[in-house]
Structure 1
C-alpha cells in the first residue's frame, strides 16, 4: 500500500511536469494558426484529435492484452488502460524514458512482478519497430531506400544499429556470469513464450493500421492548409511517415520523437509541396497528436471512474 501511494505521488508529479512541457512545446511552435482558420480545417483537426485519442486507447488495450498473455493473470483492464495512457504523456519529458518508468504502477496495481511489465514493454517496442519498418517497405519500398541514400541517412541508421548491437553484446558479456541478471533474463524469456503466433499477427496488423491512419490524417491536414499531392505519392508518404516514426523513436533523448519526425517529413516533402505549407502542416499535426494523447488519457480516466 505504501509503495502504491509513493508511485501515485510520483505519477502525479510526472503528470504535472508533462503538462508543463506539453504547453511549452505548443508555445514554441510559434505558428499563427488564426490565419488558417476555416470550418473544414477545424473539422479535420477535431476529428483527427479524437481519432488519435482512440488510437492511443487501442495501443493501451493491446498492451493490456499482451500483459495478460505474458503473465497468464487477470489484469485490472480499465486501471491498466488508464495508467498506460497516463504514462504515455510522460514521453514529452526530456530523456524519452519516463513513459516506460511510469508503467511500473501497472505492476503494483495488478500485484504482478515488475519484470512482467518490462517484458511486455520490450515486446511492444519490438513489434512497433518491426511493424513500422514493414509498413515503410510495403508502402515506400525502393522509394524509401533511395531517399535515405540521397540524404545520407542510411549510413547513419546502420551506424546507430551497429552501436546498439555492440552495446547489447557488451552488456551480455559483462553480465553473463551474474546469476541475478541471468535469472532475470530467463524469467523474461519465459514470459515472452506465452504469446501465441496468432495473437502476435493480430497485434502487428493493428499496429500497421495505426501507422496508416496516422499518415492519412497527416495528409488530410496537409491538404486542408493548401498542400496538394499527386495520388502517386499517397502510398510512399504512408511508408515515409512510418519510417520517420522509427527514426524518431530510436533517437536518444528526443521527447516523443519531437523534431525528428517533423524534420524528416519536411525534408521529404520539400520540393513536392510549398515549404511554408509543409512546415505548417507538420507543426499542426504535431499539435493534433499532443492533444490526442491528452484526450486519450482523459477518456481512459473518465471511463475507469464511470465504471467504478
Structure 2
C-alpha cells in the first residue's frame, strides 16, 4: 500500500471517529438536559387545539419537502436538463428518506443515478445534485449571520468563528457562479476526453437561493406551529425562533452525525433557545415531537411520490 492509500485510510478512520465523538457528546447533552427537566416535561398536556396545531405543523413540513423538490427540479433546469415535474417530484420525495441509510448520502447517490439514466453526464448529474445542499447551507448561513448581526440570536462569541462563517458564505456564493461551475465541468470533461465546448450553466442561481430561504421559512414555520401546541408565541419571538431553527438546521446539515441532522439539530436548538423566555420543558417536548413530525412528513412524501406519482 503506497503513502497515498495510507493517507486515505487514516483520514477515513479519523472522520469516522469524529462522527461518533460528535454524536456521543451531543447525545449526552440532550439526555442530560431531558433528565434535569423530565418531571416538568411529563406534566405537559396536549389539548384539542394543540393536536390541530401539530397536524398543521405536519402539513406545513410536508409542503416544505414538496417545495424543496420543486426547487431541485429548477436546479436541474438550470443545467438545461429536461425534467418533468411529475418525474422530479417522484424521484426527490422517494429518495428523500434514503438519507437515513448508513453513510447519510444514499439520497444523493440515488438522485445522481436517476438523472444519469435520463441521459445526463455523470458530471452534470453530480453537480446538479450537490448544488442543492450548497444552496441550502448558504441560505441557512445567510439567515443565521443576519440574525446574529441584528442581535436576534448569538451563534458564537468567537470572532474567528464568525469570520469563518462569513468566509464560508462568501466562498459558496462565489463557488456557485456559472464562471466557476462551468470551468469545473470543463475540467472534468477534459480529464475524461469528452466534448467540452458546451456551457451548461447560463445564469447565477440567485432565485434558487431565495427559494431555499423560503424552504427554511416553511420548515421553521412547522417548528413554530408545533411549539404553539404547548405555549403561546408572540410576534416578537418569531424572528428569534426562525433564526435559531435555521442555524440549528445548518449545523445538522454540515456537522458529521446521525442521518438527517438527528441529535446535532436537537442539541443546537436546545442551546439556542434555553436562554430565551420559552420554558425549557416546552422546548424539549417540541423538539422531540417535531423530529417525529419531520420523519413522518418525509415518509408521507415518499408514499405520495411512489404511489401518487408512479403513473
Match of 2:85 in 1: 77
Match of 1:9 in 2: none
Match of 1:60 in 2: 69
The TM-score normalised by the length of structure 2 is 0.70
Aligned residues: 257
Q: CA 1:105/1:144 → structure 2, altered by over 3 Å: closer, same or farther? A: same
2-side partners of 1:223 and 1:108: how far apart? Answer: 44
Structure 1 unaligned runs (5+)?
A: 1-27, 166-175
Match of 2:302 in 1: 297
Structure (1/2) with the larger helix percentage: 1
- Which runs of structure 2 are paired with 1:40-51 in the superposition (5 Å)? 40-51=49-60
Q: More displaced, 137-146 or 276-285?
A: 137-146
The TM-score normalised by the length of structure 1 is 0.71
Q: Do the aligned partners of 2:216 and 2:246 also contact (CA within 8 Å) in 1? A: yes
Match of 2:21 in 1: none
Deviation track 1:139-195 (CA, whole Å, cap 9, x = no partner) reads 44343674422xx69749949x89xx9xxxxxxxxxx9xx8686369989966523x
Deviation of 1:90 after TM superposition, in Å, equals 1.2
Q: CA 1:94/1:275 → structure 2, altered by over 3 Å: closer, same or farther? A: farther
Match of 1:118 in 2: 126
Deviation of 1:114 after TM superposition, in Å, equals 2.3
- Which runs of structure 2 are paired with 1:102-113 in the superposition (5 Å)? 102-113=110-121
Q: Do the aligned partners of 1:115 and 1:188 also contact (CA within 8 Å) in 2? A: no
Match of 2:13 in 1: none
Structure 2 unaligned runs (5+)?
A: 1-30, 172-183
1-side partners of 2:284 and 2:149: how far apart? Answer: 25
2-side partners of 1:202 and 1:75: how far apart? Answer: 18
- Which runs of structure 2 are paired with 1:10-25 in the superposition (5 Å)? none
Q: CA 1:253/1:245 → structure 2, altered by over 3 Å: closer, same or farther? A: same
1-side partners of 2:306 and 2:298: how far apart? Answer: 12
In the alignment, which of 249, 264, 289 is matched to residue 245 of structure 1? 249
Match of 1:234 in 2: 238
Deviation track 1:94-121 (CA, whole Å, cap 9, x = no partner) reads 3321211121332244122222221112
2-side partners of 1:295 and 1:111: how far apart? Answer: 29
1:223 aligns with 2:228: yes
3-state DSSP of counterpart to 1:102: helix
Q: Do the aligned partners of 2:139 and 2:212 also contact (CA within 8 Å) in 1? A: yes
2-side partners of 1:46 and 1:207: how far apart? Answer: 24
Q: Do the aligned partners of 1:88 and 1:293 also contact (CA within 8 Å) in 2? A: yes
Match of 2:109 in 1: 101
Q: More displaced, 104-113 or 124-133?
A: 104-113
Q: CA 1:185/1:270 → structure 2, altered by over 3 Å: closer, same or farther? A: farther
- Which runs of structure 2 are paired with 1:1-308 in the superposition (5 Å)? 36-70=45-79, 72-143=80-151, 146-149=154-157, 155=161, 158=164, 183=191, 193-194=201-202, 196-197=203-204, 200-226=205-231, 228-229=232-233, 231-271=235-275, 272-305=277-310, 308=311
